[in-house]
Amino acid sequence: MSQPAQSEDTQSQAMVSEIEVQNLRSKLYNATVIDRIDCHENLAIFRVRPDAGVPRFQPGQYVTLGLGYWEPRLSGTQPDQVPANKLKRVAQRAYSISCPLLGEDGRIAPVDSLAYLEFYITLVRSSGSPDKSPPVLTPRLFQLAVGDRVAVGKKVVGNYTLGAIAPEDTVLMLGTGTGEAPHNAMTATLLSRGHRGRIVNVTSVRYFGDLGYQPQHERLMQAYPQYRYLSYTTREPINLDPAMPGYVGKQYLQDLFTSGRLAEAAGDPLSPTNTHVFLCGNPSMIGYVPPGGDPLPTPGMLPLLREAGFHEHHEHEGPGRILFEKYW
């Protein structure tokens, strides 16, 4: 009787022996997963402890996570045929470092108080097109459990950081999906410093279930009156069905800003005279157009903020500045 055909993914992994796998892991992995919190089947928080300890870094920065191409992929994700010349290498991707916001004692927990790195990651099951390569890393990351090993980049880098913010200034952070991660790190640091101005952390997600840090934000708002966490959705029934009680339509950050509803919800005018703006997440929300590029069909936040008097001069750290992260 003939044997059933192996999947492309299984065939590729079978080319590396178990002894080789153990040697590769020992040689190339330098950190351990110490906790995993699943928000739902496609969204999780991973806490990773580097063998050499947590390096010093600024909230908002990022580092790479990596796993070998030889590692198995989560069942139900797009198969991946790995070329022989990649099979013993590590697939890497950069992730902004998040923050638990609160420690086990219920007190604020900035990133420099932690003995681990926290990552807020969405599982990408498929490229969405037969013409595009399958997602490489997250189908492997979502196979990990506590105690498993992973590769962490040697340096934490990035210019998406708080910089100089006066204690009374307003800080407005706009994110989509897991673009909230660096803003959580910034939030915890600002609150731990005793920042007195309004801190407004805004996120837009598809579904309520995508709000992985909602309970922590609720507790922070109770403890810190200057902190406001605003969450919006785009694909719940109240966003799509006009017949639903409480129908609000799709809640895009651009519309919320230009209509004034964001300022009203924030309890702050969000004026360039007192506000620093941080943008992270979907490129359509950010709205960056490279020099010579075609304008986007729907404006992102950058042109709308410019019209409102904000600017992108990074050398100027006073109110009115815009910083943005090209998240993918």
Rg (CA), the chain: 21
Evaluated on CA atoms 30, 35, 40, 41, the torsion sign reads positive
Model pLDDT, residue 14 = 56
| DSSP per-residue string spanning 47-82 | EEEETT-PPP--TT-EEEEEEETTS---TTSPP---
Distance of CA 232 to the CA centre of its chain: 16
Tally of CB atoms within 10 A around 277: 26
Model pLDDT, residue 131 = 83
Distance, CA of 41 to CA of 47 (rounded, Å): 17
Domains of the chain as residue ranges with CATH: 8-152 (2.40.30.10), 170-326 (3.40.50.80)
Return the H-helix or E-strand segment holding 90: strand 90-96
Model pLDDT, residue 294 = 85
Please give the structure tokens belonging to residue 313.
């001069």
Model pLDDT, residue 13 = 52
Distance, CA of 210 to CA of 316 (rounded, Å): 35
Q: Phi, psi (5° rounding) for residue 289?
A: -120, 120
Which ranges constitute the DSSP H helices of 193-246?
Answer: 214-223, 237-240
Exposure b/e, 14-49, CB count within 10 A at least 16 = b: eebeeeeeeebbeebbebbbeebeebeeebbbbbbb
Give SS3 for 254: helix
Give SS3 for 43: strand
Mean pLDDT per 10-residue segment, the chain (328 residues): 39 74 97 98 98 96 97 94 92 97 95 97 92 93 98 96 95 97 98 98 98 98 98 97 96 97 97 97 92 88 96 80 79
Model pLDDT, residue 225 = 97
Task: Residue 63: name the closest of 149, 150, 188, 154 by CA.
Answer: 154
